[in-house]
Amino acid sequence: MPEKTYELSMLYTKVPIELLKKIATNVMAQFSLKVTDPINFKIPDNIKPNLSQQYDASQLIHYIKDKMKTRAIWVIPYDLTLPNRNFVFGSALYYNCCVLSTSRLNELEIYKEAIHEVGHVLGLKHCNLPCIMALSKVATQISLKHQLCDRCKEELKSHKINDTGQV
């Protein structure tokens, strides 16, 4: 039986379309997903950056969760933070959606971090092996990651995604 392809909505705010297309290509190469054409998505007026001009990633994720009916990745050019963290490259709600910041990353790191965050959207947790799902606290750690390890590939196969691809 052929592997089912699920849909991932690609949302963006002030990010070049060419970069989004490359992110989509990399994500589709790693996972059995169809990535939608990019959708321009505005940060709502009630979500404000902090004094350091960082957005709270959890607020953005919950906003996406409330607005979208399918899994989604939101790519933004702004710095992100979470409680008790100086910054994060991205953040995700398992089996649901994620937000990815391009502000501290080069292009190759952006592709790898997008795959990492989408891995969470598909249910993968952080991995302690040399794997794209390993936690990265600094950009140099992202550069060392290359692909999913065999354990994460098997874990991904065992996850059950409902037939609509909806959360």
Provide the annotated active-site residues.
117
Q: How far is the CA of 7 from the CAs of 17, 146, 165, in angstroms?
A: 19, 24, 6
Taking the CA atoms of the chain, what radius of gyration do you get in angstroms? 15
Pairing of strands 71-76, 39-40: unpaired
Place of tokens 């997903």: 33
- Burial level of 104, CB count in 10 A (0-12/13-18/19+)? middle
The answer to whether 125 and 100 are in contact (CB under 8 A) is no
Amino acid identity of residue 159, one-letter, is H
